[in-house]
Structure 1
């Protein structure tokens, strides 16, 4: 298993907490979802919709010498925002190889299986899968 240092920090934070406190940490991440850069703020159509999420989540991935991930998720969907925030913060500035090495089951490492629905965990896995696909496509071209 290979996680970026920031993703490992998030996993460690969740795993160090009692199970009943993990949802609160996820909600704190939701409050910390970085705003979209101005070039995307008025153009959510430029992002990729994450169909696995019930809420309208859009991802924006850029690859230059590093990977940059941006996301939108509605405030009324705090768990989804929290998952998006973990990925945005956890993958920001990582190399292509680091992003592609993150295991598909990384959301399960947070230990939220009993705190959130399996559908929400699939949504986060969907976000990660779409980010990795975009990274592969952009780094190949």
Structure 2
């Protein structure tokens, strides 16, 4: 896919990671894990709305909302004891914030492999992040069809 399909926020996050050494990349991932937003109150008591990302080693659940302006809002829960997974979730929540459904669907599927963490985390964890992105896109596609 052409480089231009990468939204600015995701491109900036990738550049931030690639500018660091491997140990610093892990530290940045931990910083992202602390920035994963809490669920809005309207969703806290509705676990039934969330889809489990079974490819993740930790219990991770996500839900996509598309507002009237076609802007995607991604909500993810991941345990505090799973900082790598929380970090990946936070990268996607922050990187996709404010994008339209078409922009989210245009994000390259291999984005998780391009941020320079392949030597720092296990392939299984990278697959988990790819699954988070894939399930996000799947929910966006389903909600667009239903609209």
Out of 35, 38, 60, which is 1:35 matched to?
A: 38
Matched, 1:132 2:137: yes
Deviations 1:98-128 (A, max 9, x none): 1011111100111000100000000000000
Per the alignment, residue 86 of structure 1 pairs with 91
**TM-score normalised according to structure 1 size:** 0.96
SS at match of 2:43: helix
Distance 2:63 2:112 in 1: 20
Out of 97, 117, 120, which is 2:102 matched to?
A: 97
Distance 2:109 2:131 in 1: 9
Distance 1:104 1:88 in 2: 15
Deviates more, 1:115-124 or 1:11-20: 11-20
Aligned length: 141
Out of 13, 16, 27, which is 1:13 matched to?
A: 16
Per the alignment, residue 118 of structure 1 pairs with 123
Q: Give every structure 1 segment of 4 or more consecutive aligned residues whose post-TM-superposition deviation is greater than 2 Å.
A: 42-45
Per the alignment, residue 53 of structure 2 pairs with 50
* CA RMSD in angstroms, aligned pairs only: 0.9
Deviations 1:77-104 (A, max 9, x none): 0000000000011111101111011111
Deviations 1:24-81 (A, max 9, x none): 0000000000110111112223201001001010101001220000100000000000
Give structure 1 stretches of 5+ with no counterpart.
none
**TM-score normalised according to structure 2 size:** 0.92
Give structure 2 stretches of 5+ with no counterpart.
none
